[in-house]
């Protein structure tokens, strides 16, 4: 089967990301190799999955689906979710779809074109915030044309994540543990996230969390998301936001893991800068909304 590539840019002029029109895929790893890397601890089965249910795996900058017949990724990222990116624009998520065209290849088989559409940009939270940081899942300049948010739902052992947005689905991620606890030197948090649309709603997906070598701060096995329904049972825009939220929390958790503890001098400097900015807010013409630092309106 012949493959052609088309990249549909959804952003306006001044797009911060380079065009992917010239991008070509190298041979992807076999799905069984990717999905099998974390087989030491398999997700619990609290409810029966439907026939044709799908498993998604984040492998570097590409996301693979067990439902993909071509073996090509179904989404791509501008940077691996390892916490080492330096791009001020965050991480861009792109949907990839294989579409059959009417023309045929030289072998007489239908040709397939790979259509790429940018759907969401994952952005960091403001430096200064009250309560849980709210990370931005921004699709306003892309195919989605909507903006979502994601934040930790609570602190401590039972902490999880919540994602939401106007015109977007809501997701509640709650930690779940199996009998196969993490080994010494690996992540000690719960091994799974249960995904629900409501806080106590039916299970829609089970996530096997990424496992880390905490001493060397490297990934041991990639994150996997097992959908309780088949791929075709989900609206594609619904999946776009679901995948974006999945990538977002894995990105932020990676940032937390790889960051180095700050020194006492660095802490004092951060405290000094924060106090100075707060003073500017309180004395800035008597208007508390006239913030003059990154992450707030000016």
151 and 279 in a single domain? The answer is no
Domain span holding position 196:
3-13+25-259
**184 vs 72, higher pLDDT:** 72
296 and 219 in a single domain? The answer is no
Asked, for residue 53, whether it belongs to a domain, the answer is yes
Q: List Cβ neighbours of 265 (8 Å cut-off, separation of 6 or more).
A: none
* C-alpha distances out from residue 12 to 60, 129, 194, 264, Å: 28, 30, 37, 44
Is pLDDT above 50 for 2? no
Which tens digits make up the pLDDT trace of 222-276? Answer: 999 999 988 888 999 999 999 999 999 999 888 888 876 666 776 677 677 767 7
Asked, for residue 65, whether it belongs to a domain, the answer is yes
40 and 160 in a single domain? The answer is yes
150 and 274 in a single domain? The answer is no
CA-CA distance, 25 to 5, in Å (whole number)?
Answer: 10
168 and 288 in a single domain? The answer is no
The residue-averaged pLDDT of 178-193 equals 53
139 and 279 in a single domain? The answer is no
Asked, for residue 20, whether it belongs to a domain, the answer is no
Phi/psi class of residue 95: alpha, beta or left (left: φ > 0; alpha: ψ in -120 to 50)?
beta
133 and 56 in a single domain? The answer is yes
30 and 164 in a single domain? The answer is yes
Is pLDDT above 50 for 14? no
Asked, for residue 286, whether it belongs to a domain, the answer is yes
33 and 153 in a single domain? The answer is yes
Asked, for residue 62, whether it belongs to a domain, the answer is yes
Which tens digits make up the pLDDT trace of 30-56? Answer: 444 544 444 344 444 445 555 678 999
Q: Tell me the average pLDDT of the chain.
A: 74
Asked, for residue 18, whether it belongs to a domain, the answer is no
42 and 60 in a single domain? The answer is yes
**59 vs 158, higher pLDDT:** 59
* DSSP track, 136-199: EEE-TTSSS--EEEEEES-SSTT--EEEEETTS--EEEEEE--SSPPPTTB--S-SEEEEESST
What does the chain come to in residues?
298
Q: How many domains does the chain have?
A: 2
The residue-averaged pLDDT of 174-185 equals 56
236 and 291 in a single domain? The answer is no
Joined together, the tokens standing for residue 118 give 């940018």
pLDDT at 150: 95
107 and 223 in a single domain? The answer is yes
Closest by CA position to 154, among listed 126, 132, 187, 129: 132
Asked, for residue 19, whether it belongs to a domain, the answer is no
Specify the range with the lowest mean pLDDT, choosing from 152-156, 196-200, 216-220, 288-292.
288-292
Asked, for residue 235, whether it belongs to a domain, the answer is yes
CA-CA distance, 120 to 122, in Å (whole number)?
Answer: 6
The residue-averaged pLDDT of 104-116 equals 73
């Amino acid at each position: 089967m012949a493959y052609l590539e088309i990249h549909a840019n959804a952003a306006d002029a001044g797009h911060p990301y380079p065009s992917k029109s010239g991008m070509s895929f190298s041979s992807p790893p076999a799905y069984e190799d990717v999905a099998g890397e974390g087989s030491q601890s398999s997700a619990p089965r609290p409810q029966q999955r439907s026939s044709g249910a799908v498993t998604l795996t984040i492998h570097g900058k590409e996301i693979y689906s067990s439902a993909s017949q071509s073996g090509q990724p179904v989404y791509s990222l501008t940077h691996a979710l390892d916490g080492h990116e330096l791009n001020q624009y965050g991480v861009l998520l792109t949907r990839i779809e294989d579409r059959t065209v009417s023309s045929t290849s030289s072998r007489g088989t239908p040709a397939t074109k790979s259509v790429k559409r940018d759907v969401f940009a994952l952005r960091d939270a403001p430096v200064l915030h009250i309560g849980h940081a709210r990370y931005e899942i921004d699709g306003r300049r892309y195919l989605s044309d909507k903006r979502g948010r994601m934040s930790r739902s609570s602190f401590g052992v039972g902490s999880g994540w919540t994602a939401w947005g106007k015109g977007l689905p809501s997701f509640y991620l709650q930690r779940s543990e199996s009998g196969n606890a993490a080994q010494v030197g690996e992540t000690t948090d719960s091994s799974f996230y249960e995904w629900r649309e409501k806080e106590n709603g039916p299970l829609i997906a089970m996530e096997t969390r990424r496992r880390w070598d905490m001493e060397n701060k490297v990934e041991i096995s990639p994150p996997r998301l097992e959908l309780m329904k088949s791929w075709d049972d989900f609206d594609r825009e619904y999946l776009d936001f679901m995948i974006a939220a999945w990538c977002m929390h894995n990105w932020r958790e990676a940032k937390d893991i790889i960051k180095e503890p700050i020194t006492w001098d660095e802490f004092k400097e951060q405290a000094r800068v924060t106090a100075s900015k707060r003073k500017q807010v309180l004395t800035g013409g008597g208007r508390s909304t006239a913030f003059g630092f990154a992450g707030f309106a000016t």
